[in-house]
Structures are given as C-alpha cells and as structure tokens.
Amino acid sequence: QVQLVESGGGLVQPGGSLRLSCVASGITFRRYDVGWYRQAPGKQRELVASIGSGGGTTFADSVKGRFTISRDNAKNTVYLQMNSLKPEDTAVYYCKAVWGAVYWGQGTQVTVSS
C-alpha cells in the first residue's frame, strides 16, 4: 500500500519558519519526482516547489528565496523548509509523488498569523 504522510505544519507568526516533511512508503521513492502543493480556502491548489529524482528543483515565484526543497532517499523523505513566512502562505500543504503513477498525501495545515 502506497502512503505519503506529511507533517510539520502548525501555527507560526509572520517572519517565522517551519519545516514540512513528506514520508513515503510502498514505492521506490528515489525514482519519483516530488512536489509540494498548497491550497488556501477558496483558491485552486498550486505548485509551491518540486524536486526531481535527479535533484533538480523548481519554485513558484511567490516563494523563491524563502523556501527550499530537499530529499533524503535513504529516509524516503522530502522536506520543504519555509522561512520568512507570510500570512499569504497560509494553506493546506500537500506532497505529490509522480513516476507514471501519481500519489498524494493527506495534507498538513500551515497557518501564518500573529
């Protein structure tokens, strides 16, 4: 059974940091491209950052310079380090793994508020 489990979300003040983790099981993780997406209330789900099986990364313009993405294939985990958080970063964050098949996690809530 394939599972992607996100964790690390929570409530943080503007300017703060969080690190999200996405742990995969049931797949040969190193072969998969992995993306972090987010969905705010009333908005479409959007790509925040992605990391390919070879380590190449992409970022949405809105998070460039603030977020980084990394992976540890030995731990079947992808991380999203989020710094200088803004209220507009508030959303449910999801990870997606793609290699032919597509798998989604259940999401983790990030709330940026004072």
In angstroms, the Cα distances linking 74 to 24, 29, 94 are 11, 9, 21
Q: What are phi and psi of 89, to 5 degrees?
A: -85, -5
Indicate the average pLDDT of the chain: 97
Predicted confidence band at 113 (pLDDT cuts at 50, 70, 90)?
Answer: very high
The pLDDT value recorded for residue 21 is 98
- Residue range 74-81: mean pLDDT, rounded: 97
Write out pLDDT tens, residues 20-64.
Answer: 999 999 999 999 999 999 999 999 999 999 999 999 999 999 999
Predicted confidence band at 9 (pLDDT cuts at 50, 70, 90)?
Answer: very high
The pLDDT value recorded for residue 92 is 98
For the chain, how big is the Rg over CA atoms in Å? 13
Q: Which residues of 61-89 are buried (b: 16+ CB within 10 A; e: fewer)?
A: eebeeebbbebeeeebbbbbebeebeeeb
Rounded-to-integer distance, Cα 20 and Cα 113, Å? 18
